Structure 1
Amino acid sequence: MFNRKIIEIDKPIFKNNVFFYNISTTYDLDKYFLKKDSFIDYIDVKDDLSSVPEGISIIPVLCNILPVSWIMDATIFIDELDKTFFESIKAIKENFSMMFPKIEFKGRLIVKKIVDYDRIFMEDKYMPFFSGGVDSTFTVINNIDKKPILASIWGSDMPIDETEGWKNLSNIINQFSKEFDLEKVFIKSDFRELLNIRKLNEEILAINDNWWHGLQHGISIISHGVIYAYKKQIGNILIASSHSTRDLEERGVEVIPCGSSPIIDNYFKFSNCKVIHDGFDFTRQEKIGKIVDYVNTNDKKVYIKVCWESISGKNCSSCVKCCKSMLGILAEKQDPNLFGFEFDESILDEVYEKVSNPENYGVYWDINKGNYWKHIFERFQEDPEYWKEKKNLKWIFDLKL
């Protein structure tokens, strides 16, 4: 007998390269949804996507809702689904359960028709998700010989109502694609406006994480590449790592709880396409070093967009993420101003003040929480002779890391 908590997803409606989704739920699940419809718009794609089958085009909205089913022990009903993806869900769910043992992952997925879409995919075609940040920029450069196709989502970090911010960000992405002679695809989606994250966060207090970071963002972002990859026969979708093997070693753990992880992303498969969690062998500082080296060696210009404090689509050059990136670039003996920041040496004094008094500025300024600051300062300390004239950096060399 089915659980009485039910989610039904209708057959996708396609019009002008936009996929529309309609959802219905039993009343006890209503509070977890802000609305019952969603869309994905391939805003600059010239190809007609109408030939993409239902069992593929349903995957993006399904991935957004699957964690709701698991945590709320609800049953999802859909008409059709790709066989390979259907089979991959089991491993993804089990690995989430292993990652978060304090909560139970239940729920069911009932599919009327499971189809084996045995389509030929090109194993030499790669599509990384690209936001312009450190991780995704490294992933592109790390795979530059493969001429990857960049996929960027308007609606992930940049809200879909921020048209001016998206204009600035899309210009940055356009410049990057031209600089490196790469194809790109822009995807507009309201997937972050579908769920009531505040209510869902209340259901997962035991995991000491939030819904977006812990459960949603990995498979939801990846799923936005499925339709285009199927149409263009792209054999590999790449998503950049946030953590690294060194992070695991330093924390003494086998896995870092995160919705995007090798044990989640690498198990995501559909038809004959696979997903690669890229860059896990590199720390964030090592990625910055590789980016700087590549830019210097190949005479390229790269605007690194890391800031989500500013909705302008540009870096604010004052938040913790901007400061980590600026100091990371400086530690590689390069000028942060060349990478899209507004940097001067007064920022070094500001960082010193904030990392010295994290109780006044927040946990992300605490060099004992996480490893990003530690790896930046270690990089400075590798060459004290080079920095000896920089008096406002002396405090870094006094740190016991």
Structure 2
Amino acid sequence: MSAIVIDEVSADGQVLECDLRPRGDVKRFFTGKPFEVDYDRSIEGVPEGVLAIPALAHVCPVAWANGADVYADEVDATFARALADVRDVLDSMYDFIEGGELYARRTIDPEPDARGESALLFTGGVDSTYSYVRHRDEEPILTSIRGWTITPDPADDGDWADLTERVSAFADERGLETAFLETNALSALDHAMLLAHYRHRVDGSWYSSVGHGLGLLGLCAPMAYARGVEDMYVAATHWEGIDLEWGSCPEIDDRVRWSGTRCHHDGYELTRQERIDAIADYVDSEAPTLELQTCNRRMDGNCGECEKCYRTAVGLRLSGLDPTARGYPFSHEEYDEIRRSLESGAWELGEDERYMWADIRDRARETEPTSAAERQFFEWLSTADLEALVSESASPLSHRLLRAGARNAPASVYDVAYPTWRTAKSTLERVRSR
């Protein structure tokens, strides 16, 4: 029988640590490393049942996918109910969710010092900037997390420094507080094995498709408890009408809660282009020097050449903003490059991007071009088969077959195979980016 034990939960100053002890088949998805989170201020005094939330938020989806039970000494009762709700949502989304129960020696209902604070997961991209604009009267604590897109690897130290510097500058200009969290959650879990095992059953990686809404919000629980946060916001990536299984959505995020705090999936009622419209209004009224950061290649600015940079630049144009003034070097001559890249499959696109380019296409049909190059691009985009473009840019068959073979390989074999696949994929991405 598979099971996972959350053990030895402790807080030493700013550092949270606990042991993860899996048994049975589920053991393949764990590396044996302790689970750690480093906060930027003390979490001593936070009840153990709240300290357990970050680990539970990451472990439970893995347990549910393997029919494993989870055991902990102490659990916040409000969060335990939230987990049951989220499990039911994931069960309705994915056929591989098998169930599993949470067992605790004791549950607690603490009464935190409610100070009416709010917090917002923040990167400075379109979605989180829109959520700040929407909730700026609340003066939310801007919260950034290292451990997913920016890994704990020392090679990513520069990216983390760039992000914290940028978020801190944004906060200082507006008199806001910040919270910076660093975690090894995705190295305590064997995320590579999860990817190999479930990649064929989700549209994306394990974490993006299954775990990141619950996981990222759960990481914030000790910070939120210590700082009196009552409302925790996570910006929506998608919007109404997008039919994709995704680990962060209203059905999941709005159900996440713990003593003193409720979480909110924010901005889902607006498309990405409509969020850029709101940012444009904010730029006009309050923030003439605002720049965004969305690049897939770097954190110290935007390269202006990757798919996401081009897509954001076009979106800014359609909302009446000069992309160059918002951090995206862009000229109308580059519309030809965007078209060539989309038509040639130079960018590896997914269903996310298809919906986002369709959103841009809808707005472009209503917008008067300001140059011949822009007119030609809008006319092409108006009739382009976006579904076919996404299909043609999918991963090569050889990579998909290697990944499929790894799913059923012993861990010792997989540990050799996965770096080979990853190296091949990185090489392809570098070639495509030229």
TM-score (norm 1): 0.89
Match of 1:362 in 2: 348
RMSD: 2.0
Q: Which residue of the partner structure matches residue 118 of structure 1?
A: 111
Stretches of structure 1 that go unaligned for 5 or more consecutive residues are none
Partner of 1:238: 233
CA deviations 1:230-281 (Å, max 9, x no partner) are 1111110000111111x34xxxx5xx31110100000111113100100001
Equivalence for 1:188 = 182
* Residue 299 (structure 2) pairs with residue 287 (structure 1): no
Which residue in the other structure is 1:137 paired with? 129
2:56 to 40, 57, 62: 62
Instruction: Name the counterpart of 1:376.
Output: 360
Percent identity between the aligned chains? 25
Contact 1:157 1:308 in 2 (8 A): no
Query: What amino acid sits opposite 2:262 in the alignment?
Result: K
Specify the alignment match of 2:102 in structure 1.
109
Aligned pairs for 1:131-210 (under 5 A) are 131-160=123-152, 161=154, 162-204=156-198, 205-210=200-205
Distance apart, 1:361 and its partner CA: 3.7
Higher relative contact order (CA 8 A, sep 6+): 1
What's 1:9 paired with?
Answer: 6
- Aligned counterpart in structure 2 of residue 336 of structure 1, from 313, 323, 343: 323
Counterpart of 1:113, as a letter, is R
Residue type of the alignment partner of 1:319? C
Query: Who is 1:391 aligned against?
Result: 373
Bigger Cα displacement from structure 2, 300-309 vs 71-80: 300-309
1:94 and 2:78 matched: no
Structure with the largest fraction of helix: 2
Q: Deviations over 1:290-349 (max 9, x none)?
A: 112101111343231112333x44322211111111111111121112222222333222
Partners of 1:297 and 1:73 lie apart in 2 by 53
- The answer to whether the 8 Å contact 2:22/2:30 transfers is no
Select the residue among 29, 33, 53 that pairs with 1:32: 29
Instruction: State the secondary structure of the residue aligned to 1:186.
Output: strand
| Paired position in structure 2 for 1:261 | 249
Q: Give the aligned length.
A: 380
Q: In 1, distance between residues paired with 2:265 and 2:374?
A: 38
How big is the shift at 1:392? 4.2
Deviation of 1:198 after TM superposition, in Å, equals: 2.8
Q: In structure 2, do the counterparts of structure 1 residues 315 and 377 end up closer, same or farther at CA, with 3 Å as the change threshold?
A: same
Local SS of the residue matching 2:248: coil
TM-score by length of 2: 0.82
Q: By how many angstroms is 1:134 displaced?
A: 0.9
- Aligned equivalents of 1:98, 1:28: Cα separation in 2: 23
